Each structure stands twice: as structure tokens, then as C-alpha cells.
Structure 1
Amino acid sequence: MRNPLFYAKILLFGEYGIIEDSKGLTIPYNTYKGSLKFDQKAEGKVSNESIDRFAEYLEKNFSEDFDISLLNEDIEKGMYFDSTIPQGYGVGSSGALVAAIYDRYALNKIDTSEGITKESIGKLKETFSKMESFFHGKSSGIDPLICYLNLPLLINSKTDISTVGLPEQKEGKGAIFLVNSGAPGETAPMVQIFFDKLKHEGFRKTLKEEFIKYNNACIDAFVKGDVNPLFANLKKLSTWAFLHFKPMIPQRLLDAWQYGIQTNSYYLKLCGSGGGGYILGFTKDYENAKLHLKDFDTEVIYKF
């Protein structure tokens, strides 16, 4: 059995907004990775049991699309997902597992080695959305999609997703970085909070007129490498999230979040659904930002 690696992902922009058709930008994060392996010992037991439950879901919903008998045989042999991707941190732990299961057991797997079209991306996203719903109750399918393709993706709408080139990293002072909130978060409760908020017309209005506007402007500026408009819109985006996404912001980070906005030394935003795990930071001076965030573990993911 060959063991292809599936890497973590980071949704730079578009958290929650992509549910309402905002733009999104997601990138692979190769620091963390996972692959399917066999082990009859205790090490893989929890993962093996989780895959067993997932297999039952696939058999019920995808019986003609996957080689369920082979999957069950492998589970019996102790197959598990050997992964360094932290769970509940917003970097695609379930997405990587879904991509790995699809890669090994899908009967009519979409082959991306010959090139990727919008049509193939759309089909993969639809399949991955249904598969990952097992873990989150509702999934856009974006996380497994990027874990499977291992390429940056620009999400223009639910039906318009394409690969995208990003500006080359530079050895400057600026950085995009992860901030560890210190505890994992759960996706489903956070998504439920968002859907409850969507029932209110005032929230839907500000989401559409402000959040989506700032989010899309950030993506346009980042892809072009325009730092000043990027940071102008990041401040608006971070401020909006502080006001409207407060339940999703880990309690430990509320003061640090507000401090960044007030001093312009960095701006924070959600990385995934929030509630815990990682938060994303953007700064023009990473060493200075680190001083203010000394109580938290940080790691750089992109330099400029």
C-alpha cells in the first residue's frame, strides 16, 4: 500500500463568508501532514475506530462510489490515519483524512495528474462536501479539496473555484502567522452560532455590506501583492469580526485581538470556524508583533 501524504490547509480568507458566497482563499500548509498506515497496536486505535464509524457512513451514503469491502478489510487490519495535523485547530485534520480515504477507495476517482479543470474541481468539491459532513454536520468540501489537490485555491463563489498563483514570499519584516489559542475548538457549535446569527436581518445585512466587502478586498490585494490596501482592509475585517464574531473568538485572545486593532501592530482574524485552535495574524513587523503576543505560541506561515 503506497502512502501518499496529505497536508494541512489554511483558509486565509473567507471563513463563514464562503457559506454566503463571499470569496475565499485557501493555501496548503505543509508543516503538518498525515497518511494512511497499518498498526494493530494501541497507537492507531482511536483513529482506527473513527475510520470504522466513517466507513459505516460511507456505506450508507456512497455504497456505489467506494470500495467499501476493501475499506472494511483494511480497517480490520488496523488501518489508521497517522497524522501530525492538530485536531480542532482549523487546519484541516478531517479534510486530510477525507482526501486520503477518497484517494485510496473511490471507485471512479477523478485523476488530477493530467491537469485540473473547474469542472473536476466542482465534482470533487461536491463529493468532499458530502463526505466531510460526517465530521461537521455541514461542510463546504473546501478543506478536503485543498488537502487533495495541495494547491492554493481561489473561491469566487460556491460554483466557481480555481487554482491561483500567489506572490512569492520575500524575506521582509512582514508576515502572516498562526497564533495558538491553547485549546482545540469544535466546528459544529461555532457553525450553529453563525447560522443562528443569520436568522437576524441586521446581521445578514452587515455580513453582506461590510464583512464580504472587506474580505473580498483583502483577497484581491493579497493576490496582487498590494500590501497597503491589504492592511487597510484587514483592520476593517478584524474590527468587524471583533464586533460580530466575538462568540467564535477564544476568550484568551480577546484582549490581544483588540490591542492589535488599537495599535495597528498586527491584525487577527479567525482561522477556520474559531472557538479555539489557531487564529491568523497579519503584521508588517513580525518581531514587534511577537513581543505583544509573548503569552502565545506563534508560527510564521508566509513572509513578505
Structure 2
Amino acid sequence: MPNLSYPSKVLLFGEYTIIQNSAALAIPYAHYQSYWSDHPLSKDWENTIKPAFSKQSLQKIAVDLQSLQYPLLNLKQFKEDLKNGLWLCTNSPMGYGLGSSGTVCAAIYDRYAIHKTTNLQLLKQELACLEHSFHGKSSGIDPLIAYNKRPLWVHSDASIESVELPSLQKLTFFLIDTQLPRVSTPLIHFFVESCKNASFENAFVQPTSRAVDDAIHALMTNNSSSLMQAIHLISKLQFAYLPPMIPESMHALWKKGLASNEFYLKICGAGGGGFMLGVTRNWEAVKQHFHSFKTLQLL
């Protein structure tokens, strides 16, 4: 593995409510990552996209980035390197909620930015500008995680803090592979339209935002009891108010977790497929429930 690589991200807390300016906590996840290459891959690297598709996509991105209002990148060098065979390798599954487009933005910025900044707020804006130019609306969080390679706490006032997570000795966070790639755009549209309804705002957005804030503070202070209480509420509210985001194959397990309090499930990223996120006090006892799914321990 090369030294200069860009990890995927997992949004632990704040999925969807971050659109409504709630707090959020995201972490880098180096199990899946991307890096630049101009030569064939080693046999032990499980690439998820073909070199030809990567090159074609990057060439389109290079064209799209010409629409930026001010010159963030050395696009001339970018296009020249692509012409000479450069491409971006990745083992990250597409459409799984891991911020795959964010790693692309981070890699492009890191290699071709004309003037790099270390200010997190400005860096987030510049990376969001890159992602927005070829990927639609972007908060900049995904590429910021991939570029910064450290957990980020986004506060409700939009300020950003790079943090170190405490050791979670009593809890295990894990990913469940639904084996269902999804497209996030219609899911985001569903949420945005739902937010126009005052009852949805009152019944889901506000209590979930408070629970997200409680969960982050509990995690950062290593209060496992309060953390599980907050996650229980988030899981319950997501199941009740975000039906398109939860695949049918997860319904029985989702309800089993809520009823037994042995584990809780929540959306990872946009949901609708890809990975779901689980939390438990006793992974050895509950992993039997997920024998039909591929799981990955996260924290």
C-alpha cells in the first residue's frame, strides 16, 4: 500500500439531520481507500473499478472543474497526467455510503491544489466547491475526512473540530453489508421534501438532532450508557420516519435490536442499501444474528 492514500469515511452520527444543521461526527475508515497510480495493480489489491472507467471519469471531472469561478487547481497538469496514464485506484464499493466521491476530491486537491490551506473551515469550503462542481450539492465533509485523515466533529453552529476518539472498551461499532448498492439522490430528495412538512420537522428532525448531539457528547466523554440511550432513540426514529432508507432485508434485525436492547442499527450515509451501522455492548453475543451478512468491525 502506498504511503499517500485517501481513506473512506463513516458518518457515525448526523446522517440527514446535518442537512438541517445538526451536529455530526465522522471518522476516516482506512479499510477502504484510494490512491493514484500510473502502473498495473498488485495482485493483492481488490480494485472495485476498472482503470479505463477511472480514467474516463477523471477526464470528465477535469472538464467539469473548468467551471470553477476561481482557479483552485492546476488543471493543465491534471489533464496532462491523465493523458500520460494516471488513474485513481480504489477498493471502496460504490454506492455504499462511504464517501467514494469524497476520496476523489481529496486526492485531486492534494495533488493539484495551487495553494493549499490548513484552515479547516476554508478547506471544507474549497473541497465542497470541488465536489459540487461534478457531484451536485456537497457539504465538503466527505472529502475533508479523506484529506485530513482524522475524525471530525461538526458542531451545530457549523464550526468544525478535529478530534481524537476515546477508547471504547465497552462498545463495538460495526458495519453490515446489505449487498444493495444505491443511488443517494432520490433518498436525499425524499428527506428534503419531508422537511417541508412541519410535523416531520417536529417529530423527526428536532428530536433526532438532539439525540445526535447527546450521542456525540456521550461518545467523547466515554459514557457508554448515555451513548446507547441516544443511539436507541436515533434507531427508533429512523425506522419510523425514514422508510426508504432502510432496506426490507434489515427490518427484522432492526426491530429485534430495538426490542432486545442487545444492539441497535442505524443508517450509514444515505442509507437505502450499502452499509448499515450497528452498535452493541457485546459483539460476541450478537454477531450470530448477522450470519447471513458480511460484517466489519469499525470501532
- The question of a shared fold, defined as TM-score above 0.5 by the shorter chain, is answered with yes
Q: Could you tell me how far 1:159 is from its partner in structure 2?
A: 2.9
Determine helix, strand or coil for the equivalent of 2:298. strand
Q: Distance in 1 between matches of 2:17 and 2:187?
A: 14
- 1:40 and 1:78 in contact (8 A); partners too: no
Aligned twin of 2:113:
106
Whichever residue aligns with residue 51 of structure 2, its letter is G
- Following TM superposition, by how much is the alpha carbon of 1:166 offset from its aligned partner in structure 2, in angstroms? 1.1
1:212 pairs, out of 209, 212, 224, with 209
Q: Does 1:75 align with 2:74?
A: no
Equivalent residue pairs, number: 291
Task: Give the deviation of 1:169 after TM superposition.
Answer: 4.3
Unmatched tracts of structure 2, length 5 or more: 42-48
**Residue aligning to 2:236:** 239
- Which residue matches 1:175? 172
Q: Which residue of 2 aligns with 1:184?
A: 181
Residue aligning to 2:287: 290
Cα distance in 1, alignment partners of residues 9 and 231 from structure 2 = 20
Which amino acid in 2 is paired with 1:193?
Answer: F
1:36 Cα deviation (Å)? Answer: 1.2
- State whether residues 211 and 233 of structure 2, in contact with CA within 8 Å, keep that contact through their aligned partners in structure 1: yes
Q: Which amino acid aligns with 1:27?
A: I
> Counterpart amino acid of 2:268?
C
Any conservation in 1 of the 2:13–2:25 contact (CA below 8 Å)?
yes
When normalised by structure 1's length, the TM-score is: 0.91
Indicate the residue corresponding to 2:44 in structure 1.
none
Partners of 1:278 and 1:150 in 2: how far apart? 20
8 Å CA contact 2:125–2:140 kept in 1: the answer is yes
- What 5-or-longer segments of structure 1 have no aligned partner? 113-119
Q: Distance in 2 between the 1:208 and 1:226 partners?
A: 24
Is the deviation greater in 50-59 or in 158-167? 158-167
Matches of 1:252 and 1:136, distance apart in 2: 29
SS in 2 for 1:279: strand
- What corresponds to 1:85 in structure 2? 92
Q: State the TM-score, normalized to the length of structure 2.
A: 0.92
| Structure 1 stretch displaced more, 235-244 or 41-50 | 41-50
- After superposition, the Cα gap between the structure-2 partners of 1:3 and 1:232, relative to the gap in structure 1 and judged at 3 Å, is closer
4+ residue runs over 6 A deviation: none
SS of the residue 2:297 aligns to: strand
Shift of residue 15 of structure 1?
Answer: 0.6
**Structure 1 equivalent of residue 6 of structure 2:** 6
Report % sequence identity: 34
Please, which moves more after superposition, 98-107 or 180-189? 180-189
Query: Are the aligned partners of 1:18 and 1:158 in contact in 2 as well (CA < 8 Å)?
Result: no
**Counterpart for residue 139 of structure 2:** 140
Q: What letter matches 1:297 in structure 2? A: K
Equivalent position of 1:117 in the other structure? none
Contact map agreement 2:64 2:134 (CA 8 A) in 1: no
SS of 1:157's partner is: coil
Tell me the residue number matched to 2:46.
none
Provide the residue aligned with 2:161 in structure 1. Answer: 162
- After superposition, the CA RMSD in angstroms is 1.9
Cα deviation for residue 269 of structure 1 reads 0.5
The answer to whether the Cα contact below 8 Å between 1:45 and 1:78 also exists between their aligned partners in 2 is no
Structure 1 residue 106: deviation in Å?
1.0
* Equivalent position to 2:274, from 274, 277, 282: 277
- For residues 116-153 of structure 1, the C-alpha deviation after alignment (integer angstroms, 9 at most, x for no partner) is xxxx1111111111221245421111000011000111
| SS of residue in 2 equivalent to 1:177 | strand
